[in-house]
Amino acid sequence: MERPHHELTPKLLDSLYVEAMVLADEARSYFDRDQVTAIASPEISVAFSCESLKVTTRLMHSIAWLLNQKAMRAGEISQHDSHGDERDLGYSPASDDFQVQRFPDEAKALIAASEDLYFRLQRISTKMRARTAPASEPHAMIERLRASF
């Protein structure tokens, strides 16, 4: 099976996967402590819970996408099967910058790191889809819309 040429080398893939797993472990550990919600106002407590869910969603989508890429590289799934919408990097809502600025520095750092990882994977995924997708105009419009979110 011929593999496509793109910037997601095995070394980069492994590095991104380790980064995602470490970040997921750090986020789980931090958000499980729940120290912020115990001392914060109800508004900050709810915002903190929402942001912890966004971080978790972002990281789980990232890990799932990276595992899909690993499976494709290992020949466990075909390149054709790897292009369905269910195998794309899932949607993750953006963080609320106003609320995030009210959180402790450690929470801010975890949120920013999860966004950074997700956006890097989103750029890689978009480039990979552009290289393997048919050049139809409707498909190109869908990809432009997908990349804008």
User: What CATH number should be reported for the domain whose range is 10-148?
Assistant: 1.10.8.930
User: How do residues 63-83 score in pLDDT, each as one tens digit?
Assistant: 999 999 999 989 898 776 666
- Condensed to tens digits (0 to 9), the pLDDT of residues 99-147 reads 999 999 999 999 999 999 999 999 999 888 887 655 556 766 776 777 7
**Residue 9: per-residue pLDDT:** 92
C-alpha angle 10-13-14 in degrees, rounded to nearest 5 = 85
Look up the pTM and report it: 0.79
More confident of the two residues 10 and 5: 10
CA dist list (Å): 50 to 32, 33, 76, 93: 14, 15, 36, 10
Look up tokens 């496509």; give the residue: 4
Q: What is d(CA 22, CA 65) in angstroms, rounded to the nearest whole number?
A: 16
Are 7 and 53 contacting, i.e. CB atoms less than 8 angstroms apart? Answer: no
Q: With 70 as the cut, is the pLDDT of residue 34 above it?
A: no
